[in-house]
Amino acid sequence: MSLQVGPRTITALVGPNGAGKTTLLKAVMGYVPPTSGRILFGGQAITSSPTHRTVGLGLGYVPQGRIVFPHMTVQENLMMGLYPRRTDRALRSRAFDLVYSVFPRLHERRWQHAGTLSGGEQQMLAIGRALMTEPKLVLVDEPSLGLAPNLVDLVFETVAKLKETGTAFLLVEQNAVAALEIADYAYVLDLGHIHLEGPAGELLKKDEVRQVYLGL
**For the segment 60-72, what is each residue's pLDDT rounded down to a tens digit?**
999 988 889 999 9
Q: Is residue 90 part of a domain?
A: no
Tell me the pTM: 0.91
Gap between the Cα atoms of 67 and 58, Å rounded: 20
Residue 53, domain CATH: 3.40.50.300
Does residue 60 sit within a domain? yes
Do the domain assignments include residue 121? no
The verdict on residue 158 lying in a domain is yes
Range of the domain at 48: 10-69+132-213
Is 100 within a domain? Answer: no
In a domain, 120, yes or no: no
Q: Which of 191, 185, 214 is nearest to 3 (CA)?
A: 185
Q: Is residue 43 part of a domain?
A: yes
Render pLDDT for 179-210 as a digit per residue (tens, 0 to 9): 999 999 999 988 888 988 999 999 988 887 77
Number of structural domains, the chain?
A: 1
Distance in angstroms (rounded) separating the CA atoms of residues 159 and 165 = 10
Per-residue pLDDT of the chain (216 residues; tens, 9 = 90+): 899 999 999 999 998 888 899 999 999 999 998 889 999 999 999 998 899 888 889 999 999 888 899 999 999 999 999 887 777 888 899 999 999 999 999 999 999 999 999 988 999 999 999 999 899 999 999 988 888 888 888 888 889 989 988 899 999 988 888 899 999 999 998 888 898 899 999 998 888 777 776 665
Residue 116 is which amino acid?
Answer: T
Query: How far is it, in rounded angstroms, from Cα 55 to Cα 48?
Result: 13
Examine residue 141 and state whether it is found in any structural domain, yes or no: yes
Distance of alpha carbon 79 from alpha carbon 88, whole angstroms: 12
